């Protein structure tokens, strides 16, 4: 039952508004054919009216019917070519009138011996095709009945004692056969059109799915044919290639570097494994990895090019390794802290005894200094492992900076005139983890004070505001020697330090804590000294 319903749905004629434009164009040409035929019938009257080779030819009646048929043809063609769509009822009425005129012209021209009966077959076939086979037998029946009535009328009016219906019967059978063939042809045509339409819809859906998949991919995708014309590209490819010549269709204009690599890959021949080709390309300060996949059995049929941001992949791999290293070091730090506490406690007990030898005192002091250094490393590592455990809250940035300035000067024993604080006129509110922001500022300011000249105005903390910006900037500047260009790239790497006593985790932890709270930190070159800029999300006080 489902199969039968599906076949009925396929053979059922679609609504008129869903018929293709070719259907209406063909109908217009059929009306043009009727007009040409009517003109030919009228012309027949003027050029061959003196050749009365038929006994029952009615000159005046034939001329009137030919003129009427010409007017009817003009009217039908005018309706069709004016843009009005002729539906089933109108088509049936036009066909019946068409059959009536042709049968009447057959009578006026002297009967079926005139040869006009073939026009009746053509009219039935045309109407059957345009009705897509549904009314084909009805049109054939109308034509047969009209033809037999005309033959009978000839018998009555022309005093034929022995009427011959053989010709009329054969012509009627021809009309039915033509109608049946038109019905079968229309049925197959409808099925083919429905199947082609369904295949077209499936292909369009598949193309949309493929496009959606490629748009959601992280890698760039380019599809080129054998002439290196671009057939498809996704947004990621335009981003990786900087969207150059976005309106062009040729790969050589869109990305000439990629086109050159693709040509080299195509010219390499056909090895056993032709299904992959890998190339590297440095473009716009990016390391790109290209992978070529042939579309067909040969490389010359076209290719799909996958573009990967190799530098981004390397950064992701480094982040994964650093995350694993962070978990490992955190576990090690937990294990180190207990014996380190025991060593520190034992060292304090030894220092509380009677004053030992100066050499032993010096050794105990070295032990204490290194224990404190190891303890600081353990604290930094554990703090790094807690970077994702943020407790963000809204607070006034101005009040926080004033409190931080006071605490830092007291704890680090920095004179107030050596550490300048410059605050903007408007109060700002930010959403940040207080403890994280305090540690970030402490690490950066302590580095700036240690590398500066430690004089008047050697260190400054400025609050920079811009009403149109979405972020607030904190600038920490010192008057030290600054950082060389060779070291700027590694400045925020873990365990990178230029001092023998440093841990190399201060700036790395500062960057990680800023990113965990939606902020950022960067180093900028200055005329004298170093400059760190911290950007925080802005939220105005209500």
What tens digit of pLDDT does each residue of 50-75 get? Answer: 554 455 667 778 888 888 888 888 88
Residue ranges of domains in the chain, CATH in brackets: 2-198 (no CATH), 218-313 (3.30.450.20), 314-385 (1.10.287), 393-537 (3.30.565.10)
d(C-alpha 493, C-alpha 120), whole Å: 93
Angle at 430 between CA 427 and CA 436, to 5 degrees: 125
* Token couple for 541: 């006080």
* 178-227 residue pLDDT tens: 888 877 877 777 777 778 778 888 888 877 777 777 777 777 888 888 88
* Alpha-carbon Rg for the chain in angstroms: 47
- Asked if residue 492 lies in contact with residue 513, where contact means CB atoms within 8 angstroms, the answer is no
Label residue 107 exposed, middle or buried (CB < 10 Å: 0-12, 13-18, 19+): buried
- pLDDT for position 322: 60
Residues of the chain with pLDDT under 50: 1-13, 16-17, 52-53, 161, 271-275, 541-542
**CB within 8 Å of 120: residues ≥ 6 apart:** 99, 102, 103, 106, 143, 147, 171, 175
Task: Label the pairing between strands 520-525 and 530-537.
Answer: antiparallel
- Asked if residue 401 lies in contact with residue 463, where contact means CB atoms within 8 angstroms, the answer is yes
Instruction: Confirm whether pTM is higher than 0.85.
Output: no
Secondary structure element (H or E) that encloses residue 419, with its range = strand 419-422
- pLDDT for position 209: 79
- pLDDT for position 355: 63
Secondary structure element (H or E) that encloses residue 254, with its range = helix 251-254
Classify each residue of 474-486 as buried b or exposed e, where b means 16 or more C-beta atoms within 10 Å of its C-beta.
Answer: bbbbbbbebbeee
Could you write out the DSSP letters of every residue in 138-157?
HHHHHHHHHHHHHHHHHHHH
Q: How far is CA 155 from CA 32, 99, 145, 159, 208, in A?
A: 35, 20, 15, 6, 69
**CB within 8 Å of 42: residues ≥ 6 apart:** 63, 66, 67, 70
Q: Which residue do the tokens 């005018």 mark?
A: 78
Residue 471's φ and ψ, nearest 5 degrees, are -125, 160
């Amino acid at each position: 039952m489902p199969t039968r319903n599906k076949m009925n749905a396929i053979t059922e004629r679609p609504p008129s508004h869903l018929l293709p434009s070719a259907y209406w164009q063909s109908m217009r040409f059929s009306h043009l054919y009727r007009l040409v035929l009517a003109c030919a019938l009228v012309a027949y009257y003027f050029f061959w009216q003196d050749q009365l080779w038929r006994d029952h030819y009615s000159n005046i009646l034939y001329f009137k019917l030919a003129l009427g048929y010409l007017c009817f043809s003009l009217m039908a063609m005018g309706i069709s070519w004016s843009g009005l769509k002729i539906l089933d009822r109108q088509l049936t009425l036009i066909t019946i009138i068409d059959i009536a005129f042709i049968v009447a012209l057959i009578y006026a021209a002297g009967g079926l011996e005139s040869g006009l009966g073939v026009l009746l077959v053509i009219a039935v076939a045309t109407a059957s095709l345009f009705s897509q086979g549904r009314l084909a037998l009805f049109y054939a029946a109308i034509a047969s009945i009209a033809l037999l009535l005309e033959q009978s009328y000839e018998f009555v009016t022309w005093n034929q004692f022995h009427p011959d219906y053989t010709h009329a019967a054969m012509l009627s059978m021809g009309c039915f056969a033509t109608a049946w063939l038109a019905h079968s042809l229309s049925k197959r045509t409808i099925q083919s059109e429905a199947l082609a339409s369904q295949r077209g819809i499936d292909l369009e859906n598949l193309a949309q799915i493929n496009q959606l998949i490629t748009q959601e991919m992280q890698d760039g995708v380019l599809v080129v044919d054998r002439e290196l014309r671009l057939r498809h590209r996704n947004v990621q490819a335009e981003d990786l290639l900087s969207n150059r010549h976005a309106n062009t269709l040729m790969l050589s204009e869109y990305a000439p570097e990629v086109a050159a690599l693709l040509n080299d890959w195509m010219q390499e021949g056909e090895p056993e494994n032709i299904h992959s080709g890998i190339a590297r390309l440095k473009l716009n300060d990016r390391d790109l990895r290209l992978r070529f996949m042939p579309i067909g059995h040969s490389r010359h049929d076209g290719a799909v090019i996958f573009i990967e941001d190799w530098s981004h992949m390397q950064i992701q791999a480094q982040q994964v390794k650093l995350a694993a290293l962070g978990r490992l070091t955190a576990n090690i730090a937990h294990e180190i802290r207990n014996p380190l506490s025991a060593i520190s406690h034992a060292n304090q007990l030894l220092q509380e005894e009677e004053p030992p030898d100066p050499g032993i005192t010096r050794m105990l002091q070295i032990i204490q200094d290194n224990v404190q250094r190891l303890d600081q490393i353990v604290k930094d590592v554990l703090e790094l492992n807690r970077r994702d455990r943020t407790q963000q809250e809204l607070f006034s940035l101005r009040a926080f900076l004033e409190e931080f300035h006071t605490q830092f000067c007291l704890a680090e024993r920095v004179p107030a005139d050596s550490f300048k604080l410059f605050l903007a006129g408007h109060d700002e509110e930010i959403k940040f983890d207080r403890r994280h922001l305090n540690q970030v500022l402490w690490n950066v300011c302590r580095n700036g004070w240690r590398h500066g000249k430690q004089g008047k105005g050697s260190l400054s903390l400025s609050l920079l505001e811009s009403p149109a910006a979405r972020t607030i900037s904190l600038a920490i500047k010192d008057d030290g020697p600054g950082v060389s260009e060779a070291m700027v790239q590694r400045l925020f790497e873990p365990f990178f330090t230029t001092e023998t006593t440093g841990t190399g985790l201060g700036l790395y932890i500062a960057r990680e804590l800023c990113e965990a709270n939606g902020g950022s930190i960067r180093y900028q070159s200055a005329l004298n000294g170093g400059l760190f800029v911290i950007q925080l999300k802005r939220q105005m006080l209500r």
